[in-house]
Structure 1
Amino acid sequence: MIDKVIFGDNQFFGVNHMSEQTAIKQAQRFRTSEEIYKTLEYVNDIGIKSFMFTTHNQLEPVFDKMKGNPKFKDFKLYPSMPYAHKYAAALVESGPLELINKFTPGNKLISGLKGVGSLISANPVPIMQLLVDSEMKLLKGMNVQGIFLLNIVTDLLIGLGMHNILGEYVSYVDKKYGVKAGFFTMNYTKLHNILVNELGIDNPIIVSNINKIGFRMNPSKDEVEHKLREQNSFNIAMSFLASGAIRPREACDYVAQTKGVNAVLFGASTPAHILETKEMLEKSL
């Protein structure tokens, strides 16, 4: 079961889709891993037990601290991958062979050959598996309850017509890690149709923009709402506040009244805002 209220990590890394100024302020607030850890400790203490995040390098020391704190034993983690900037930076700095050595777990030679072999044979499945395994090293021994594919990859695969890789991803995550796979997307209706109608995945988990003003809801607010009403997928609303463009009470009322919304992912940078949003969402949902 996925909790109805999930805490996200955008504020930790200066991500705000409406205001660059706000993003800069948030990035300055969370300059150290200690500041991020203290916020997650507060989140856990007030009863938010789910954290969805990108596998950013800055989180590694945070997770080390969490592993040593028994209070986080029931804190559910939902990693979202791959964190593309990490791989791009490593490729520029070190080259492709060092990239493989740095990020592939286990036997480097076998992993490297597996990756190169998949490129030669034009089969991207082994590369996908290597990336998942590499990212999951960070979370060994922790309470991972789901593994999500970020929209940069999800939507690229949709655009390339490589829909079978989405199915392979679901299968691999289930078999290797025993948890559900989920997907971020910027085109909810298209992904929904592929997962449900084409690939036949039962109740797939989809994270997409869902908010009162239709901010970044693609292909349109009406089409997304229509597809949500089918209620044959587990839908997590992100950007439900439209990066601050909607008042919290209005935003909460909208997602509560929208059929097919099962959970809400939100981020906030101050304890007061975190608690206020949590309480409003719990009352609405």
Structure 2
Amino acid sequence: MGNRDDIRELAARMGQSIIGQEGLIERLLLGLLSNGHLLVEGLPGLAKTRAIKSLAKNLDADLSRIQFTPDLLPSDITGSEIYFSEGGKGEFKFQQGPVFANLILADEINRAPAKVQSALLEAMEERQVTVGGESHPLPELFLVMATQNPIEQEGTYPLPEAQLDRFLMHIRVDYPDAASEAAIMKLVRSEEKTTHGKAAAAEKLAADVVLASRREISEVNVSKAIEDYIVALVMATRYPDKIDADLAKWIQVGVSPRGVIGLDRVSRAHAWMNGRDFVTPDDVQATVHGIFRHRLVLSYEAHAGGATADQAIDRIVEKVATA
């Protein structure tokens, strides 16, 4: 099998234990293939944690779960230098924190103060941790999936826009439909029955397959017309008055250059996963919401009128001509 078939099989395996959240699975894999990080927002119990655990179960990769709390310290994430004494001699040695893993689940990231959030976000951006003047590289296969709960905002520290911009995609997870809810009950029932007699674990997908897939995705062709289309979508967020009067009232700050880079990367990954070696407008439109959603800063008038970032993006896609 080729790398694409292996990734599709990985998605199918994950889908067996995560019912009704096919969009979350797809975007989790898109983030992995695009070498970016994900911010996942949804109510409790919607399989956010289960999704990345399922990815770790089926991929040859280490998983660290970090529960963010108000009393967490930066060193609890990055690690710190510990003094060791042996044979009458002592020295400081760096002891790695939980961030030194392939897959990181940063659970409820908005419950930790800014200093702790910054420690994780610096590691995400630089792909290394510096302690005591020495840099320690993180694994080549490195994905952070941070979650935040849209309710219970008391006692939280919302991420500033500059830090939100470091996430490749912002994913919103909603309730599954009625048929999926029934299937979830049956799945949990069957899992309870097999707790005592566990079946043999399936062979895990090698991490090299993901790295090789990334190299293939880098070769996916993006035509000049598609490049112009991506740039036009971004420019529409910065100068909305040129395309729509309502957008001009809704959008206060447009998408940063990271949005251009992210939309290009994820569009190529989406095209590759769908068996093509070239990007189409459909690939761009299928991924643009996740790339733009957390990068748009809406005006007070938009919030007062109940307008959302997704509505603004819908309007932009509608108004900007396709390639």
TM-score by length of 1: 0.31
Q: Which has the larger radius of gyration?
A: 2
Q: Select the structure with the greater relative contact order (CA < 8 A; seq sep ≥ 6).
A: 2
The structure that is helix-richer by fraction is 1
